[in-house]
């Protein structure tokens, strides 16, 4: 005697999955927007006296546990952890937005042109991009950071190189499949130039996956930036940055000063979670599963 396993009807499974994806996307969006607002209004909060200068040490530097005067405590150097955590959001967003935007502006056009034209140039570009893609992102970023040096723009450049192949591969693969469609052939038969075919017909049909990739790369870039900061290769020391603050907190942990590592680490984890949830939700919208 065999027992049948109960399964939900396909339409109900699809509805539940869609509802869960939308819920997670909205949670991720709210978290991401909160961090964006923190980055925008942190200087205003400092001007109003609600938070301290993140780069100003106390007159008599001594670590203090979280209290009403210092909500997240202070470091052994006398810096206010709450202020540095808020301003760390600003530094992270600047680098992440620059890095993902640079990689998008380079990878998308290359993928479009390479996939549409094909030939020797396409094979060479594909080989180069695959070579870069096989390298671990953190290792590549560390190597590039040694070359370009520290700073917001330099960190963004070091991060963006590892993301260009991802945009290139996604856009190229979509372009090679879409360019054989009948509406593309009809446009070329009506005299449309390659530039017009690329910009008007192909671009809008292959760009759907880019927002998903953008958010997921942003989440990954925050982790890599934190790794660079932890190694002392990210931003200058005077710029509050979560990875660098975790590096400073490493020596303080054995002495029981837990708060200097907890709050920057939580901020980094929460921001990465928000962007990841947003990316997964967008993926369900643009590429729904049956």
pLDDT tens track for 58-77:
656 667 788 887 888 888 88
**Sign of the Cα pseudo-torsion (46, 50, 55, 58, in order):** positive
| Residue 110 CB neighbour total at 10 angstroms | 19
Distance CA 78, CA 24 (A): 39
Model confidence at 245: pLDDT above 60:
yes
pLDDT of residue 226: 92
Mean pLDDT over 148-163 rounds to 89
172 in Cβ contact with 121 (< 8 Å): no
Distance CA 109, CA 103 (A): 10
pLDDT of residue 17: 58
Lowest mean pLDDT among 126-135, 171-180, 210-219: 171-180
101 or 10, which is more confident = 101
pLDDT band at 1 (very low <50, low <70, confident <90, very high): very low
The proportion of the chain whose per-residue pLDDT surpasses 90, expressed as a percent, equals 36
Model confidence at 240: pLDDT above 50:
yes
Single pTM value for the model: 0.85
Provide the residue ranges of all domains of the chain, joining segments of one domain with +.
Answer: 14-59+70-286
Mean pLDDT over 135-140 rounds to 84
Identify the CATH class of 14-59+70-286: mainly alpha
pLDDT of residue 4: 46
Task: Tell me the per-residue pLDDT of 182-238, one tens digit each, with 9 for 90 and over.
Answer: 777 787 778 777 778 887 778 877 787 788 889 999 999 999 999 999 988 888 878
DSSP states of 242-290: HHHHHHHHHTTGGGT--HHHHHHHHHHHHHHHHHHHHHHHHHHHHS---
Which among 187, 208, 205, 207 is positioned nearest to 196, based on CA atoms?
Answer: 187
Lowest mean pLDDT among 15-19, 197-201, 230-234, 242-246: 15-19
Distance CA 278, CA 25 (A): 4
Token couple for 9 = 């009807």
């Amino acid at each position: 005697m065999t027992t049948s396993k109960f399964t939900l009807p396909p339409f109900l499974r699809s509805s539940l999955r869609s509802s869960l994806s939308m819920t997670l996307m909205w949670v991720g969006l709210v978290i991401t927007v909160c961090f964006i607002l923190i980055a925008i209004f942190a200087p205003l909060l400092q001007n109003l006296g609600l938070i301290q200068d993140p780069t100003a040490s106390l007159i008599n530097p001594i670590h203090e546990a979280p209290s009403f005067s210092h909500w997240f405590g202070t470091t052994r150097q006398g810096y206010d952890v709450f202020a540095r955590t808020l301003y760390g959001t600003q530094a992270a967003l600047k680098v992440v937005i620059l890095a993902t935007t640079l990689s998008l502006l380079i990878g998308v056009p290359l993928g479009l042109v390479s996939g549409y034209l094909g030939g020797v140039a396409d094979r060479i570009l594909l080989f180069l991009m695959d070579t870069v893609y096989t390298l671990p992102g953190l290792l590549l970023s560390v190597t590039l950071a040694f070359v370009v040096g520290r700073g917001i723009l330099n960190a963004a450049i070091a991060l963006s190189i590892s993301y260009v192949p991802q945009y290139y591969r996604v856009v190229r693969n979509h372009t090679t499949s879409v360019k054989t469609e009948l509406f593309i052939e009809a446009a070329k038969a009506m005299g449309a130039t390659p530039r017009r075919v690329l910009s008007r017909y192909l671009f809008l049909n292959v760009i759907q996956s880019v927002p998903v990739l953008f958010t997921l790369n942003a989440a990954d870039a925050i982790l890599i930036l934190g790794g660079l900061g932890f190694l002392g290769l990210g931003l200058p020391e005077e710029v509050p940055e979560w990875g660098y603050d975790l590096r400073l907190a490493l020596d303080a942990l054995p002495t029981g000063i837990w708060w200097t590592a907890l709050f920057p680490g939580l901020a980094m984890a929460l921001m990465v979670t928000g962007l990841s949830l947003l990316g997964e939700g967008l993926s369900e919208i643009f590429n729904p599963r049956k």
